[in-house]
Amino acid sequence: MPVGRSPIETRAEPLSELHRHVAIPNAFETWTILDVHAGAEGFELRARRRDQLFRKDYDALEDPLEWPKRFDVSRWTLISAFDGSRRVGGALCAIDTPGVEMLEGRPDLVVLWDLRVAPSVHRQGVGATLFRAVEAWARARHCREVKVETQNTNPTACRFYASQGCRLQEVNRGAYPELPDEIQLIWRKVLNA
């Protein structure tokens, strides 16, 4: 998908480039919150307008540069997106890592741990290009499923993951004791060969 004059290029990079990845902000603002309801065919998300603008900066809640100190990231990968020489986004993928509960002890599951797109190129296909690259990386490692976590406070992310073919499979109220008003949403996409 072209952003500038050239198509977006993705490439895997070593985690030593994590500091460049996190230079792209991972924050958002919204006037919308998603209420979660059990429907006939699974969970339904219904948008509701907030009384006040909601702001969230994921990096302020958890320093991404601490991840390599907390986890064995030797099997993880960083897939970065470039418009020419300009870094415009990236996706961090976790796989087969003991102690990472999101991976459920499964070697055939990849968790999309962190996805970010430079604000200057939002809604220009960079996220979708990265998601396709994550899927290709996962398939090459014989993974059968991609798993993603977000919250009901992030409607843009929820719409994005749904548009990529992910299905909302788990809703966990109270998952964040420090953020009692947020609901954890777990999205999954089965990968076909």
Dist. CA 12–CA 145, nearest whole Å: 19
Count CA atoms closer than 13 A to 186's CA, side-chain side: 15
pLDDT at 1: 47
Backbone region of residue 15 per phi and psi (left: phi > 0; alpha: psi in -120 to 50; beta: other values) = alpha
**Residue ranges of E strands in 40-117:** 42-57, 77-83, 86-95, 109-117
Q: What pLDDT shows up at residue 192?
A: 83
CATH 3.50.50.60 fits 9-136, yes or no: no
Examine the pLDDT at 130 and tell me if it is beyond 60: yes
CB-CB contact of 94 with 101 (8 Å): no
According to the model, what pLDDT value does residue 63 have? 97
| pLDDT at residue 40, rounded to an integer | 83
128-150 average pLDDT score: 97
pLDDT tens, residue by residue, 67-91: 999 999 999 999 999 999 999 999 9
**CB-facing half-sphere around the CA of 16: CA atoms within 13 A:** 1
Q: pLDDT value at position 4?
A: 56
Residue 77: name the closest of 156, 12, 140, 136 by CA. 12
Mean pLDDT over 147-161 rounds to 97
* pTM for this model (two decimals): 0.93
Give the per-residue pLDDT at 109. 97
Percent of the residues in the chain that have a pLDDT greater than 70, as a whole number: 96
**Domain residue extents for the chain:** 9-136
Q: Quick: pLDDT tens for 91-108.
A: 999 999 999 999 999 999
β-bridge pairing 145-151 and 167-173: unpaired
